[in-house]
Structure 1
Amino acid sequence: MLLPASPEETWAELEPLVIVETGADSLTIGVRSRGCAAKADFVFRVDRKADHAVVAFARRRLETCKGPVGQGTLKFGYDELGLTPGEPVVIANPLSPSA
């Protein structure tokens, strides 16, 4: 379950996300890409608060391909993130559908 982030839980310096979706067993993010964004290019951090988790995604490698700007979709399993299905989650990245 996604919760709205409070100002102290967001970081404008992080990779802007185009989409964030929760599923039964995973969290899916969308990032701007020129066609070669891969899950291995990203790292994440999970911080625990009293009643929710704060998840931040950062690019580990710059994208070097030269295709047209589009969107890359990356799926992270809850178990991979250390989360449980249905756990309240805040995303620390800025959400910028028009990024």
Structure 2
Amino acid sequence: MNFVQSRRGFVIAGAALALAGCATTPGLLAPAAGESFPELEPLLAAETGGDGLAIRVTSKGCTAKADFVFRVDRKAGHAVVAFARRRLETCKGPVGSTELRFGYAELGLTPNDRIVIANPISPPSRRRDD
């Protein structure tokens, strides 16, 4: 009788863990040595979500997703993603930022992949008015 109860508990616990794994969103990993490239476009932020990866870049108002290319390399159980501008932004608006979204399928990834961003991530510095 104990074997049946233990087996049933094991199956229920396994099912709960499997469902919990399906409900999580992928996280970003910190880049290891040699996985970050300062010559790439600096990002203001990067964030994973249920449907893809969002990056925030500086913009003068005319930056579009089509202005960026990406590369994905698989390495040691995770995906290293790098973004680069195809063309320089030539508009003359005030400097701000814009968010660009890339779906997992578009990047060749799945929501279960562990992701490392190769670009440097440097949030904008805040000025204090004294």
Does TM-score exceed 0.5, indicating one fold?
Answer: yes
Q: Aligned to 2:79, which of 37, 53, 62?
A: 53
Percent of aligned positions that are identical = 68
Look up the match of 2:28: 2
Report the TM-score, using the length of structure 1 for normalisation: 0.97
User: Are residue 23 (structure 1) and residue 49 (structure 2) matched?
Assistant: yes
Bigger Rg, structure 1 or 2:
2
Look up the match of 1:72: 98
Q: Give the total of aligned pairs.
A: 99
Q: Residues 8-44 of structure 1, C-alpha deviation per residue, up to 9 Å, x if partnerless?
A: 0000000000010100011000000001110000000
**Cα distance in 1, alignment partners of residues 84 and 118 from structure 2:** 10
1:29-40 counterparts in 2 under 5 A?
A: 29-40=55-66
Look up the match of 2:112: 86
**Cα distance in 2, alignment partners of residues 6 and 95 from structure 1:** 14
**Cα distance in 1, alignment partners of residues 120 and 37 from structure 2:** 7
Q: Secondary structure in 2 aligned to 1:97?
A: coil
**How far does residue 7 in structure 1 lie from its aligned partner after superposition?**
2.4
**Cα distance in 1, alignment partners of residues 86 and 111 from structure 2:** 26
Report the TM-score, using the length of structure 2 for normalisation: 0.74
Q: Which amino acid aligns with 2:85?
A: R
- Give structure 1 stretches of 5+ with no counterpart: none
Q: Residues 50-93 of structure 1, C-alpha deviation per residue, up to 9 Å, x if partnerless?
A: 21000000000100000000001100000000000031000000
Superposition misfits of 4+ residues, deviation over 6 angstroms: none
Q: Which amino acid aligns with 1:51?
A: G
Return the structure number with greater relative CO, CA threshold 8 A, min gap 6: 1
Structure with higher strand content: 1
**Cα distance in 2, alignment partners of residues 31 and 52 from structure 1:** 24
Q: Which amino acid aligns with 2:112?
A: G
RMSD of aligned alpha carbons: 0.9
- Give structure 2 stretches of 5+ with no counterpart: 1-26, 126-130
